[in-house]
């Protein structure tokens, strides 16, 4: 087996002492930031980019991947004990998990989340191992037209499926794309949206945008909302050993959650949020005791937690094989690759195979480390939740400004950070999702390049996008995704009308 050989070679890379250490650093840091509200994996990796620039690439990526996995484990703890999800993928966990904690079953909720995450993360990594080579073969047949069409599909999926409405998703995505336009156009040397400001000629650094939208925007938003600011922590009560009954009720949701989460991560459909919702509703439908849902049903923690970890493994498939980010964190990871002069895509697997396979192998190891960190040691992590909000956010903003300032030692960057923070605040206040903006910022320039390259090759003939079969297929998929919400709403209305006409008789 091709994949198995590569994986074994990967383990040789991942099991060196230095790389084990980076993995441990990554998963520990990931758990830490997952638990702390107000700071997530995309933000942390963005802040670490300047510091890691001098590190060996393999070690850095092993750390980043551990961090991404770890954040998913850690955020479930916060959801369960604090009722404020650490990351968007854990919103559903907070629903049932916090109810369990209030009824003195917090420990069992933590256990089913951690074990479910481990199982889903491991199965997800196995799927990643065997699916990646298949994707690489497919990707080798892509030209600029196919890449452009694929990105159109990813764009549509991200704006249609993330957030509360399509118009908000589209607006957020385009805002990111516009921020990405600022600076000198690579192909012609033309300056765009720079208004004669010299500091804008190189474009706005992605770290500044990510930190501004996430850290500053979040701090402003929470500070303006007394209801979010003052929260109450539930103590860990009960035994960490799940009862036989808990196991019996958890294992099927774990597997079903994995089955939902992984494909959603692979598809350019926007990361971890949707599969957790789907898993929750599926478990509620299948449960013999649906009345327990909303009161602390263990299935409602087990399923979604498995789904979000499996989705994280899924997100890595298009990121590594196609260079296509489908979540905000994946977008930042793509920037990290570019910082090392690496371009994720099929060539990464031949050119830097020891890095890629070392990274994949490290995920297996990281999952085991995370299970140990998050089950027996959960009591230690919980103390982090006792850090008062004012001090926590003060620290986050100090580190954010350090990270941004040390990029170019420029106070213009700090001013941009504040302005982008205000944008993030307004977006949160009016319910605009942030992730499409970050994806648009990073995919936008790549998409434009492929688009113009395709037109250059075809000498300005726009029909290349529909005469190439693969390109056409992606564009058709994009149209379908775009239309789905409208069709669903129409069906809903028709069903409601029929129900209304039935009732009076």
Partner 1 sequence: MRETSQRPATSKAGYFVGLGLIALAAVIVYDAANMQLPPNYAAYGPQIFPYLSSAALVAAGLFFLWQTAAGRPSAMREDTDRPEWKGVIAISAGLLAQVFLIEPLGFVISAALLFFCVAWGFNSRRHGRDAIVAILLSLATYLVFTKLLNLQLPPGLLKGVI
DSSP H or E stretch at residue 192: strand 191-192
Q: Which of 50, 257, 325, 345 binds partner 1 (CB under 8 A)?
A: 50
Beta carbon nearer to partner 1, 220 or 365 = 220
**Residue 376, interface with partner 1 (CB under 8 A)?**
no
Beta carbon nearer to partner 1, 353 or 458 = 458
Q: Closest Cα to residue 46, out of 271, 324, 405, 332?
A: 332
Q: Which of 73, 142, 425, 482 binds partner 1 (CB under 8 A)?
A: 425
Question: Smallest distance, Å, CB 90 to partner 1?
Answer: 16
Q: Closest Cα to residue 388, out of 74, 37, 28, 72?
A: 37
The gap from C-alpha 316 to its chain's centroid, in whole angstroms, comes to: 10
Helical spans, DSSP H, in 17-143: 17-35, 41-52, 57-82, 91-102, 106-139
User: Per CB under 8 A, which region of 125-133, 226-234, 297-305, 476-484 contacts partner 1?
Assistant: 226-234
Beta carbon nearer to partner 1, 185 or 292 = 185
Q: Are 39 and 31 contacting, i.e. CB atoms less than 8 angstroms apart? A: no
Question: Smallest distance, Å, CB 212 to partner 1?
Answer: 10
Local structure of 462: helix, strand or coil: coil
Alpha-carbon span 256 to 280, nearest angstrom: 10
**Residue 501, interface with partner 1 (CB under 8 A)?**
no
Q: Which of 231, 338, 343, 406 binds partner 1 (CB under 8 A)?
A: 406
Beta carbon nearer to partner 1, 121 or 261 = 261
Q: Which of 4, 8, 134, 224 binds partner 1 (CB under 8 A)?
A: 224
Alpha-carbon span 44 to 289, nearest angstrom: 40
User: Per CB under 8 A, which region of 59-67, 135-143, 399-407, 469-477 contacts partner 1?
Assistant: 399-407
Give bridge partners of residue 191 from the DSSP assignment: 184
**Residue 394, interface with partner 1 (CB under 8 A)?**
yes
Strands (E), 128-188: 183-184
State the CB neighbour count (10 A cutoff) for residue 237. Answer: 14
Which residues, numbered 431-490, are part of the site for partner 1 (CB under 8 A)?
Answer: 431, 444, 448, 451-452, 455-456, 460
Task: Report DSSP state, residue 301.
Answer: H
**Residue 384, interface with partner 1 (CB under 8 A)?**
no
**Residue 223, interface with partner 1 (CB under 8 A)?**
yes
Q: Are 139 and 345 contacting, i.e. CB atoms less than 8 angstroms apart? A: yes
Separation of first and last alpha carbons in the chain? 66
Alpha-carbon span 224 to 295, nearest angstrom: 30
Which residues, numbered 140-199, are part of the site for partner 1 (CB under 8 A)?
Answer: 164-165, 167, 170-171, 174-175, 177-178, 181, 185, 187-188, 190, 192-193, 195
User: Per CB under 8 A, which region of 57-65, 249-257, 339-347, 396-404 contacts partner 1?
Assistant: 396-404
**Residue 216, interface with partner 1 (CB under 8 A)?**
yes
Spell out, one character per residue from 317 to 356, where the chain touches partner 1: x when CB under 8 A holds, - when not. ----------------------------------------
**In Å, what is the CA distance from 4 to each residue of 11, 126, 313?**
10, 10, 18
Question: Smallest distance, Å, CB 182 to partner 1?
Answer: 10
Alpha-carbon span 150 to 356, nearest angstrom: 23
User: Per CB under 8 A, which region of 71-79, 213-221, 306-314, 318-326 contacts partner 1?
Assistant: 213-221
> Where do we find the tokens 């170019």?
408
Alpha-carbon span 310 to 255, nearest angstrom: 10
List contacts with partner 1 (CB under 8 A). Answer: 50-51, 164-165, 167, 170-171, 174-175, 177-178, 181, 185, 187-188, 190, 192-193, 195, 216, 219-220, 222-227, 229, 277, 388-391, 393-395, 397-399, 401-402, 405-406, 409, 411, 414-415, 417-418, 421-422, 425, 428-431, 444, 448, 451-452, 455-456, 460
């Amino acid at each position: 087996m091709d994949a198995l050989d590569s994986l074994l070679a990967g383990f040789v890379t991942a099991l060196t002492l230095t790389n084990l250490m980076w993995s441990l650093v990554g998963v520990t840091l990931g758990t830490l930031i997952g638990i702390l509200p107000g700071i997530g994996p995309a933000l942390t990796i963005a802040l670490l980019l300047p510091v890691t620039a001098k590190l060996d690439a393999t070690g850095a990526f092993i750390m980043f991947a551990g961090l991404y996995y770890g954040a998913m484990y850690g955020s479930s703890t916060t959801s369960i004990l604090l009722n404020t999800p650490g990351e968007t993928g854990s919103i559903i966990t907070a629903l049932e998990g916090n109810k369990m904690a209030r009824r003195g079953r917090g420990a069992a909720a933590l256990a089913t989340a951690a074990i479910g995450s481990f199982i889903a993360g491991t199965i997800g990594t196995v799927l990643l191992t065997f699916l990646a080579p298949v994707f690489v073969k497919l990707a080798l047949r892509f030209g600029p037209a196919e890449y452009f069409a694929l990105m159109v599909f990813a764009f549509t999926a991200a704006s249609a499926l993330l957030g509360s409405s399509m118009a908000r998703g589209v607006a957020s995505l385009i805002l990111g794309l516009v921020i990405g336009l600022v600076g000198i156009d690579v192909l012609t040397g033309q300056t765009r949206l720079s208004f004669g400001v010299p500091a804008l000629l190189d474009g706005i650094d992605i770290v500044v945008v990510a930190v501004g939208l996430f850290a500053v925007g979040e701090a402003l938003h929470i500070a303006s909302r007394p209801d979010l600011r003052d929260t109450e922590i539930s103590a860990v009560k009960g035994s960490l050993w799940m009862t036989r009954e808990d196991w019996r009720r958890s294992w099927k949701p774990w597997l079903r959650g994995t089955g939902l989460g992984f494909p959603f991560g692979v598809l350019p459909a926007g990361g971890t949020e949707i599969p957790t919702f789907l898993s929750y509703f599926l478990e509620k439908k299948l449960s013999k005791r649906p009345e327990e849902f909303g009161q602390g049903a263990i299935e409602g923690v087990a399923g979604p937690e498995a789904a979000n970890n499996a989705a994280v493994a899924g997100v890595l498939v298009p990121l590594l094989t196609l260079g296509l980010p489908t979540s905000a964190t994946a977008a930042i990871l793509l920037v990290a690759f570019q910082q090392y002069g690496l371009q994720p895509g099929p060539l990464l697997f031949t050119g830097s195979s020891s890095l890629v396979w070392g990274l994949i192998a490290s995920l297996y190891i990281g999952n085991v480390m995370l299970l140990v960190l998050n089950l027996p040691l959960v009591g230690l992590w919980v103390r982090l939740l006792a850090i008062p909000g004012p001090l926590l956010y003060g620290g986050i903003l100090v580190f954010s400004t350090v990270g941004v300032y040390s990029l170019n030692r420029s106070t213009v960057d700090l001013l941009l950070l504040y302005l982008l923070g205000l944008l993030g605040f307004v977006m949160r206040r009016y319910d605009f999702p942030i992730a499409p903006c970050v994806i648009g910022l990073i995919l936008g320039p790549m998409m434009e390049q492929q688009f113009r390259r395709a037109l250059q090759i075809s000498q300005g003939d726009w029909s290349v996008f529909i005469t190439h079969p693969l390109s056409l297929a992606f564009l058709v998929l994009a149209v379908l995704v775009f239309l789905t919400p409208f069709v669903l709403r129409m069906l809903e209305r028709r069903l409601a009308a029929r129900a209304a006409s039935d009732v009076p008789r």
